[in-house]
Structure 1
Amino acid sequence: MARSSDAEPRVRTSVLHSVTAATRDWAMAQGRAPWPTPALASADPYAWIPLRDYLVFFEGAARRYREPNLGLELCRRFQPSALGPLGVLFSTASSISDGFAHLSAFLGAWQEGADAICEQDKALFSWSYRVHARNLSGLRRQDALFTIGATICWLRLRLGPHWHPSEIHFEDSAPHDIAPLRQFFKAPIYFGQETNRILIDNDDAGTTFRDAASAVFFPFMQRHLSDLIEDRGLPAFLVERVQAAVAARLGTEPVTLATIGKAVGLAERTLQRKLALSGTSLRAIVRDERERKARELCAPGQAPVARLAEQLGYSEASSACRGIKAWTGATPGELAKLGSLEN
């Protein structure tokens, strides 16, 4: 039975198992007491648990150990095998760009509620990752550090230990001490961005690998992950992919049935029909993404209204203000004041 697109997002237990084990090993190496492991209903690595449980564990451990970069500390201990067939598919792909393409296409088989987008221009290839569920917005910092850091570790296994990306982006604000991040990534790091992103040279992205064993194994992993996606329910998966494509383009390029259809590999009418069968539409998804983004940007000290309109994909500031008031019942200024009182 297909899951609703607005159901609570989940993740496979293998991810939490790996993170709790890495946390325990790191704590013991530091001479500190291990953080209690969450009780799980199943030891099956394919079993689903709420994504919230995984994120809460991660953020709780970071606070307990007073380690703001815990995700970065743990990523060195995380192996692609923890993602099961998805990790194998990524780490044995014939090229770096193909590995990222498969990671984006099949992430939903292993984790729900997240965007993963590949983009490329004349100079750079980028891969972005972001947990998009609204009710998890305050629980994403360690997961972002961990995911981006682990991906860099895996790339260095294939490109060499001294390889470094062109840029790193994080949606969170900069920590008080960014030296550990600079030392690890060895690249310019930008904070307060729209998503978490790795940018690499096109030459690196096009690096190919010849491995006869992997070439034989690869199609079986693809088929297995496709079956897992079908088990999840195609309508919910399609809506997630469209949400990710809209989030990646809103405010930077036109968001139309044509551009989003191309991003998810569907003709305009086919996309429109499949979204309708899922009980939604591109217009509704764009509206929801604008509302989510507006609430984040209306925090105290955030973007002025003109910049807000641009980031929400509006041509005029007045249109952005009307939209925000329609969604929330308050103007951007009123929301900012409310946020100040709540803080």
Structure 2
Amino acid sequence: MMADVSTLRRVHIDLGPESYDVVIGEGALEGAGPSLAQLCPRGRAIIVADPAALAHHRARLEQVLAQHGLTPLYLEIPGGEQAKSFHRLEALCAELLDANVERQECVIAFGGGTIGDLTGFAAAIVKRGVKFVQIPTTLLAQVDSSVGGKTGINTARGKNLIGAFHQPSLVIADLTLLASLPARELRAGYAEIIKAALIGDRALFTRLDTLGLEALNGEGLAEAVEAAVAFKGDIVRQDEKEAGVRALLNLGHTFGHAFEAEAEKGTLIHGEAVALGLALAFRYSARLSLCAQSDARAVEAHLAKVGLPAFIAELPGGPYEAEGLLNRMKDDKKNKGGVITLILARAIGDAFITSECASEDVLAFLHDELKPQ
């Protein structure tokens, strides 16, 4: 397809010498082609690709590469959480070394967030660091994992507990790549967009709530992706290594990751767990009289409007039990001194970080949430 460069949106992630652009819009792949070519000085594009994404988009990807004199070298890895393992990491590192990747080259991640996380971590450690580019093919990855430099793999103890901060050199968020996604995947990605509004932009929440499902289409989607990426980029600029304010981006995730770890494998999508986590964070905030019940209900209503779960009974992968969920929350990376760190809210658009919630109280809250509504 021909890209109208004038319609593409660019968000600059300002991190000094590690700054980069996120190119957003329909035709972003073509529009960012010259920038991609500059990052491949040997005339080859080393692409770690999800075969499912490649099956939909290979011809177009190769056309863009050919226009800029690039020959693809595909390293195919099936996506999904199973990709983020020590076994897959070792295999990918070996393939990159066999390809004699050089430090001035870039490795391109083409797929969803799990492919980006794995590829970014491999790029961070192979030869003590090579460049990488994110071409996310899911909405969840476009607005969340592709931006900010968090890379990593999972362990039996939980998600993303082994990894590194390694910023990409370019992110290409082409909205036309989303056309092949099922509606469930799109909704799951939207959870990370509404999360940005709930953390620090009440006006964005109001706009998204007015749009409803239209926020998943056309210009409504382009505006929403740009707003979410810009919001995250500003947070990352302030706190790249998550020493403070960046932890706000985990709103909904402490609860959400616990459900992901406890769910029957293959039944739950990350964005669904995050959506429920957002609702739980607001209901727990209201329970503690930190925010108004009306805000918690507004979050629930919005999630229902776009088809995302707001109550545990709506979440796939159960049954769940409170003690197991709490134990998972105790393993969260943000915790300090053995105390659970939570992201809670004073209002929609006013989230904050706290380590003052007793485990016993969180457990009682989870028990109440597990009761039939």
Larger fraction in strand: 2
**Same-fold call, TM > 0.5?**
no
- TM-score of the superposition, structure 1-length normalised? 0.32
